[in-house]
Homo-oligomer: A and B are copies of this chain.
Amino acid sequence: MDPNVKVVVDTMWVLITAMLVFFMNLGFAAVESGFARAKNCVNIMSKNFIVFAVSSLGFLILGWGLMFGDGSGWIGLKGLFFASGADNSPATGEAYKGVYSAISWTGVPFWAKFFFQLVFCGTAATIVSGAVCERIKYVSFILFSFAMAMFIYPVIGHWVWGGGWLAKLGMFDFAGSTVVHSVGGWSALAGVILLGPRIGKFDNGNIKAIPGHNLGLATLGTFVLWFGWFGFNPGSTMAADPNAIGHVAVTTNTAAAAGIMTATIASWLLMGKPDLGMTLNGCLAGLVAITAPCAFVGVGTSLLIGAIAGVLVVLAVMMFDRLHLDDPVGALSVHLVNGVFGTICVGLFAQDKITGTATGNGLFFGGGFKLLGAQLAAVISVAVFVFAAAAVTWLILRATIGIRVSREEELRGLDIGEHGNDAYAGFQVFATE
């Protein structure tokens, strides 16, 4: 193919899929606010809206450089600030001259690369927002998000996608079960532990269901996330490779479909009725789980992975409740549990032959424990680093400006307390706790 043509079609693919991933911000905003109470709707919308602005600035200022700058196995060290290092993209391979070598394999212009990577960074940051909602201070969330976009996410990104030590170890994460979802998940877990549960959630040792105020909104948000995932996974080729992108679209969709069915059945069996929230989270669980292996496994395997993910998410929601970890929207069950599961799936189910990436085969396809070992090393090291870095950040914020709103504000709602707004002016809304 004419190399000029290849640059054009690859750039179109990268930008259009990046736009779809950007659109996932709307999905997260809708899901999280729909699963929470009306009195906190403005606050959740605000957090989910501003977090992409924060990510855009933080990733530009420092994140990109830490993630993709040439450097050590741990962090990037060159071209750190304002994405302003030398770079002659779209040149690739030998022809590439610049300081962002780790991403010189994709032959698109520099700002197209940047935009694609930015929307992934934004996704990691927004995952946290749901888990900590209905009690976190707005300003503290904003500051934590800067830390995510400028430091926590880029460091892990460097390890896996920036030529760092996990990449060198032979660990594979096609579209980010680890880099995006488990990074968001571990950060959220630290926040959930340090914030404590919402008032009334675990009174007297009971687990109280606090129903979401708009399940239709949550459903529309999940549709948007599913839609956006067709950018997230097929776009992670960062090239319009026809075989790969068609294949990945189908593995992605099949895992989502399977997750929906098994989560629905599991909630029907375990809870007596098919709870809509479980159906929606089953979809997201399947999508998160297939994110790492989507290009390395067959369609049949994607069905199996999604089916397991759908059951896992239901069990995980119940487990976190019993552990008295209050995650209002199920973000830990979706992104953390299935981010880890999906990463491991690469080590179990990958096949070299699928779309041409030489991952080596997973355990169940005769590859032994080599690939699985690399995947487990990533799971553990990411858990340790991200949980620690996030906990330190949360603790600093707690010790200085505080991370939790006052009891009065929490009862009244964060919309009035943090923003002076009423989400549903004119509607009669009752307290539901």
Contact = CB atoms under 8 A, between A and B. Distances in A.
A274 to B, nearest CB: 6
Interface in A1-47: 1-2, 4-5, 7-9, 11-13, 15-16, 18-20, 22-23, 25-26, 29-30, 33, 37-38, 41-42, 45-46
A420 B53 contact: no
A202 interface: no
Most B Cβ at <10 Å: residue of A7, A56, A222: A56
A57 interface: yes
Interface string A242-260: 1101110110011011101
A315 to B, nearest CB: 19
A299 B64 CA distance: 14
Interface string A416-433: 001111111111111110
Interface stretch (A106-114, A192-200, A335-343, A387-395): A106-114
Interface string A263-282: 01000000111111101100
Contacts of A115: 246, 249-250, 253
A279 to B, nearest CB: 6
Given A9-B9, A242-B11, A215 B250 contact: no
How many copies of this chain does the complex contain?
3
A153 to B, nearest CB: 16
Given A4-B1, A42-B215, A253-B115, A260 B53 contact: yes
A243 to B, nearest CB: 5
A418 to B, nearest CB: 7
A69 interface: no
A217 interface: yes
Contacts of A205: none
Contacts of A243: 109
A15 B246 contact: yes
A212 interface: yes
A144 B38 CA distance: 36
Contacts of A18: 249
Contacts of A274: 46, 138, 418-419
A138 B268 CA distance: 12
What's the dominant secondary structure at chain A's contact region?
Answer: helix
A179 to B, nearest CB: 21
A211 interface: yes
Interface stretch (A160-168, A223-231, A363-371, A400-408): A223-231
A52 interface: yes
A96 interface: no
Contacts of A50: 260-261, 264, 279
Nearest to A34: B216
Interface of A: 1-2, 4-5, 7-9, 11-13, 15-16, 18-20, 22-23, 25-26, 29-30, 33, 37-38, 41-42, 45-46, 48-50, 52-54, 56-57, 60, 82-83, 90, 108-115, 118, 138, 211-217, 219-220, 222-224, 226-227, 230, 234, 240, 242-243, 245-247, 249-250, 253-254, 256-258, 260-261, 264, 271-277, 279-280, 283, 299-300, 303, 418-432
20 contacts: A1-B2, A11-B242, A22-B226, A33-B216, A37-B426, A38-B426, A46-B219, A49-B276, A49-B283, A53-B283, A54-B261, A56-B254, A60-B303, A82-B299, A109-B247, A110-B246, A213-B426, A273-B418, A427-B428, A427-B429
